[in-house]
Amino acid sequence: MRRIVILAVMAALASAAPARGQSESQPSAAEPAAEATAELGINAKLGTGVEERELVGEGNTLHVDDTAYLWMRITGGPADSVTVTWSIDEHTYDVELAVGAVSWRTWSSKKLWKAGDWTVEVRDADGTSLYRNGFSVTPR
C-alpha cells in the first residue's frame, strides 16, 4: 500500500504544471542521457501554449496580455544549460533552462505586457546564440 501512495504522489508531482511565468524542462520520451557533443542544435517555435509537451498556437504575431511560449527541441546535449532572453526596447528577461539529455524538449514562457517588436533569443552556456526570432505584439 505504501508503494502505491508513493507512486501516486510521484505521478502527481511529475504532471504538475509550472507556475505562471516559469518554465519547465522535460526529457524527450525514452531517450537516455549521453556524453555531450561539441555543439548544441536547436529547433524552436513560438506560440501561445504547450499541451502534452508540444507547441500550440504557432505564430509570430501575438497580443498584449497573451503569454508567449518558446518551445524547443535541443540536440547534442547534455549541456549545463541554455538561457532564453525575452526583450522589448530596453527591457530584458532571462530564463535559464537545464539540458539533460542528447535530445531534450523544453520551453519558456513570457507574459506580453507591452505592444511592439519583441525578440526572443536562446544562448548556450558560452553565450553563443543558438536561435533568435523577432515577433510583433499588438493591442487587442
Confidence of residue 30 (pLDDT cuts 50, 70, 90): very low
Query: Are residues 48 and 68 in contact, defined by beta-carbon separation less than 8 angstroms?
Result: yes
Query: Are residues 137 and 87 in contact, defined by beta-carbon separation less than 8 angstroms?
Result: no
Neighbours of 55 (CB within 10 A): 19
Q: What is the mean pLDDT of residues 22-31?
A: 45
Q: Is the peptide bond before 139 cis (omega within 30 degrees of 0)?
A: no
Which range has the worst mean pLDDT, 9-18, 52-61, 70-79?
9-18
Please name each of the domains of the chain with its CATH number. 28-138 (2.60.40.1930)
Cα–Cα distance between 62 and 46 in angstroms, integer? 10
Q: What is the mean pLDDT of residues 49-60?
A: 96
Mean pLDDT over all residues of the chain?
81
